[in-house]
Protein backbone atom coordinates (compact mmCIF):
# COMPACT_ATOMS: atom_id res chain seq x y z
CA UNK A 1 0.00 0.00 0.00
CA UNK A 2 1.14 3.50 -0.74
CA UNK A 3 -0.49 6.68 0.46
CA UNK A 4 0.80 9.91 -0.96
CA UNK A 5 -0.12 13.52 -1.41
CA UNK A 6 -0.42 14.27 -5.11
CA UNK A 7 0.27 17.82 -6.23
CA UNK A 8 -0.10 18.29 -9.95
CA UNK A 9 -1.02 20.99 -12.40
CA UNK A 10 -2.98 20.19 -15.55
CA UNK A 11 -3.79 21.87 -18.83
CA UNK A 12 -6.12 20.62 -21.54
CA UNK A 13 -4.59 20.91 -25.01
CA UNK A 14 -5.75 21.04 -28.58
CA UNK A 15 -4.40 18.31 -30.82
CA UNK A 16 -2.07 20.87 -32.40
CA UNK A 17 -0.72 21.98 -28.99
CA UNK A 18 -0.25 18.32 -28.07
CA UNK A 19 1.80 17.73 -31.22
CA UNK A 20 4.01 20.80 -30.64
CA UNK A 21 4.71 19.86 -27.01
CA UNK A 22 5.35 16.25 -28.07
CA UNK A 23 7.93 17.40 -30.59
CA UNK A 24 9.55 19.81 -28.10
CA UNK A 25 9.86 17.53 -25.05
CA UNK A 26 9.02 13.93 -25.94
CA UNK A 27 10.31 13.26 -29.46
CA UNK A 28 12.71 10.49 -28.37
CA UNK A 29 10.42 8.95 -25.72
CA UNK A 30 8.22 5.90 -26.26
CA UNK A 31 4.69 6.17 -24.86
CA UNK A 32 3.16 3.53 -22.63
CA UNK A 33 -0.52 2.64 -22.39
CA UNK A 34 -2.78 2.28 -19.40
CA UNK A 35 -6.51 1.91 -18.88
CA UNK A 36 -8.47 3.37 -15.98
CA UNK A 37 -11.75 1.70 -14.99
CA UNK A 38 -13.84 4.17 -13.00
CA UNK A 39 -15.95 3.03 -10.06
CA UNK A 40 -18.80 4.96 -8.51
CA UNK A 41 -22.42 4.51 -7.55
CA UNK A 42 -25.09 4.99 -10.24
CA UNK A 43 -25.85 8.37 -8.59
CA UNK A 44 -22.15 9.41 -8.72
CA UNK A 45 -21.83 9.71 -4.93
CA UNK A 46 -18.01 9.66 -5.07
CA UNK A 47 -17.97 12.36 -7.74
CA UNK A 48 -20.23 14.47 -5.50
CA UNK A 49 -17.50 14.22 -2.82
CA UNK A 50 -14.91 15.38 -5.41
CA UNK A 51 -13.36 11.93 -5.02
CA UNK A 52 -12.55 9.15 -7.46
CA UNK A 53 -12.09 5.40 -7.25
CA UNK A 54 -10.46 3.51 -10.09
CA UNK A 55 -8.67 0.35 -11.10
CA UNK A 56 -5.71 1.04 -13.37
CA UNK A 57 -4.47 -1.66 -15.71
CA UNK A 58 -0.88 -1.17 -16.84
CA UNK A 59 0.82 -4.14 -18.48
CA UNK A 60 -0.33 -7.01 -16.25
CA UNK A 61 -0.46 -4.97 -13.05
CA UNK A 62 -3.80 -4.00 -11.47
CA UNK A 63 -3.90 -1.12 -9.00
CA UNK A 64 -6.88 0.28 -7.12
CA UNK A 65 -6.65 3.97 -6.25
CA UNK A 66 -8.91 6.21 -4.22
CA UNK A 67 -8.29 9.96 -4.60
CA UNK A 68 -9.81 12.37 -2.10
CA UNK A 69 -9.32 16.12 -1.68
CA UNK A 70 -6.50 17.20 0.66
CA UNK A 71 -5.53 20.62 2.02
CA UNK A 72 -3.16 20.92 -0.95
CA UNK A 73 -3.73 18.60 -3.89
CA UNK A 74 -5.18 15.13 -3.38
CA UNK A 75 -4.54 12.25 -1.02
CA UNK A 76 -4.12 8.99 -2.93
CA UNK A 77 -4.59 5.51 -1.51
CA UNK A 78 -2.95 2.97 -3.85
CA UNK A 79 -3.20 -0.81 -3.54
CA UNK A 80 -2.46 -3.74 -5.76
CA UNK A 81 -5.74 -5.49 -6.53
CA UNK A 82 -6.81 -8.78 -8.05
CA UNK A 83 -10.20 -7.54 -9.24
CA UNK A 84 -10.27 -7.99 -13.00
CA UNK A 85 -12.22 -4.92 -14.15
CA UNK A 86 -15.24 -5.33 -16.40
CA UNK A 87 -17.84 -2.73 -17.31
CA UNK A 88 -20.95 -2.79 -15.10
CA UNK A 89 -19.27 -5.20 -12.70
CA UNK A 90 -20.17 -4.59 -9.05
CA UNK A 91 -17.29 -4.21 -6.60
CA UNK A 92 -17.81 -6.48 -3.59
CA UNK A 93 -17.21 -4.74 -0.27
CA UNK A 94 -14.90 -7.55 0.90
CA UNK A 95 -12.57 -6.93 -2.06
CA UNK A 96 -11.90 -3.32 -1.01
CA UNK A 97 -8.67 -2.63 0.93
CA UNK A 98 -9.45 -1.66 4.52
CA UNK A 99 -8.02 1.89 4.19
CA UNK A 100 -10.20 2.57 1.14
CA UNK A 101 -13.20 1.00 2.88
CA UNK A 102 -12.60 3.29 5.86
CA UNK A 103 -12.51 6.43 3.67
CA UNK A 104 -15.64 5.43 1.72
CA UNK A 105 -17.47 4.76 5.00
CA UNK A 106 -16.50 8.26 6.25
CA UNK A 107 -18.11 9.67 3.08
CA UNK A 108 -21.23 7.57 3.76
CA UNK A 109 -20.96 5.85 0.35
CA UNK A 110 -23.41 2.97 -0.15
CA UNK A 111 -20.85 0.21 -0.78
CA UNK A 112 -23.42 -2.17 -2.26
CA UNK A 113 -23.96 0.36 -5.06
CA UNK A 114 -20.30 0.51 -6.22
CA UNK A 115 -19.98 -0.54 -9.85
CA UNK A 116 -17.50 -0.11 -12.72
CA UNK A 117 -19.14 2.56 -14.86
CA UNK A 118 -16.64 2.90 -17.68
CA UNK A 119 -13.07 2.99 -18.88
CA UNK A 120 -10.60 5.54 -20.23
CA UNK A 121 -7.50 4.53 -22.21
CA UNK A 122 -4.43 6.74 -22.05
CA UNK A 123 -1.27 6.85 -24.13
CA UNK A 124 1.23 8.51 -21.78
CA UNK A 125 4.64 10.12 -22.16
CA UNK A 126 6.75 11.12 -19.13
CA UNK A 127 9.89 13.20 -18.72
CA UNK A 128 11.66 14.66 -15.70
CA UNK A 129 12.07 18.44 -15.82
CA UNK A 130 13.48 20.56 -12.96
CA UNK A 131 13.21 17.55 -10.63
CA UNK A 132 9.48 17.22 -11.36
CA UNK A 133 7.52 14.99 -13.75
CA UNK A 134 6.11 16.38 -16.99
CA UNK A 135 3.37 14.13 -18.41
CA UNK A 136 1.73 14.29 -21.82
CA UNK A 137 -1.49 12.28 -22.21
CA UNK A 138 -3.72 11.35 -25.12
CA UNK A 139 -6.91 9.80 -23.72
CA UNK A 140 -9.83 8.08 -25.43
CA UNK A 141 -13.19 7.40 -23.80
CA UNK A 142 -16.81 7.15 -24.88
CA UNK A 143 -15.97 7.82 -28.57
CA UNK A 144 -14.04 10.95 -27.63
CA UNK A 145 -10.36 11.91 -27.54
CA UNK A 146 -8.65 14.59 -25.47
CA UNK A 147 -5.13 15.81 -24.81
CA UNK A 148 -3.62 16.94 -21.54
CA UNK A 149 -0.36 18.19 -20.08
CA UNK A 150 0.33 17.42 -16.41
CA UNK A 151 3.14 18.54 -14.13
CA UNK A 152 3.59 16.49 -10.93
CA UNK A 153 5.50 18.40 -8.25
CA UNK A 154 6.65 18.24 -4.64
CA UNK A 155 6.31 21.97 -3.88
CA UNK A 156 3.07 23.69 -4.90
CA UNK A 157 4.32 27.29 -5.22
CA UNK A 158 7.55 26.53 -7.07
CA UNK A 159 5.80 23.93 -9.23
CA UNK A 160 3.11 26.40 -10.29
CA UNK A 161 5.75 28.94 -11.35
CA UNK A 162 7.57 26.27 -13.38
CA UNK A 163 4.36 24.98 -14.97
CA UNK A 164 3.25 28.47 -16.01
CA UNK A 165 6.72 29.03 -17.48
CA UNK A 166 6.38 25.85 -19.58
CA UNK A 167 2.95 26.96 -20.80
CA UNK A 168 4.24 30.45 -21.68
CA UNK A 169 6.73 28.85 -24.11
CA UNK A 170 3.69 27.70 -26.10
CA UNK A 171 1.68 30.94 -25.66
CA UNK A 172 -0.77 29.25 -23.31
CA UNK A 173 -2.42 30.68 -20.21
CA UNK A 174 -3.00 28.24 -17.35
CA UNK A 175 -6.63 27.16 -17.17
CA UNK A 176 -7.49 24.51 -14.59
CA UNK A 177 -9.48 21.72 -16.28
CA UNK A 178 -11.73 19.09 -14.85
CA UNK A 179 -9.68 15.97 -14.11
CA UNK A 180 -9.95 12.80 -16.20
CA UNK A 181 -12.60 11.13 -14.07
CA UNK A 182 -14.72 14.31 -14.06
CA UNK A 183 -14.38 14.64 -17.83
CA UNK A 184 -15.30 10.98 -18.24
CA UNK A 185 -18.42 11.25 -16.06
CA UNK A 186 -19.44 14.59 -17.60
CA UNK A 187 -19.32 13.02 -21.06
CA UNK A 188 -21.15 9.90 -19.83
CA UNK A 189 -23.83 12.08 -18.28
CA UNK A 190 -24.19 14.19 -21.46
CA UNK A 191 -24.49 11.07 -23.62
CA UNK A 192 -27.01 9.58 -21.23
CA UNK A 193 -29.20 12.72 -21.31
CA UNK A 194 -29.09 13.13 -25.12
Beta strands in 14-106 (DSSP E): 32-40, 52-58, 61-69, 74-80
Beta bridge partners of 122: 34, 139
* Mean pLDDT of the region 82-87: 93
Beta bridge partners of 137: 124, 148
Q: Alpha-carbon distance 15 to 192, whole Å?
A: 26
User: What SS3 state is found at 23?
Assistant: helix
Residue-wise pLDDT for 145-182, tens only, equals 999 999 999 999 999 999 999 999 999 999 999 889 88
* Mean pLDDT of the region 80-84: 93
Identify whether the C-beta of residue 120 lies closer than 8 Å to the C-beta of residue 140. Answer: yes
Q: Alpha-carbon distance 133 to 131, whole Å?
A: 7
Asked if pLDDT for residue 189 goes beyond 90, the answer is no
Which pLDDT band, with edges at 50, 70 and 90, does 194 fall under? low
**Helices within the chain (DSSP H only):** 15-25, 45-48, 98-106, 156-168, 180-193
Q: Alpha-carbon distance 39 to 64, whole Å?
A: 10
Which pLDDT band, with edges at 50, 70 and 90, does 1 fall under? low
Residue-wise pLDDT for 2-57, tens only, equals 777 889 999 999 999 999 999 999 999 999 999 999 999 998 999 999 999 999 99
Residue-wise pLDDT for 97-113, tens only, equals 999 999 999 999 999 99
In this prediction the pTM is 0.88
Amino acid sequence: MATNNEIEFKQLLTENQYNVIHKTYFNEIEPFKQTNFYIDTPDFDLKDHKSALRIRVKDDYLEMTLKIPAEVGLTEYNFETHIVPELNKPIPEQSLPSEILEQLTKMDIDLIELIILGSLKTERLEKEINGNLLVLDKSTYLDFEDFELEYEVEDYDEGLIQFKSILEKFDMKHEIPANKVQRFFNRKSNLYHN
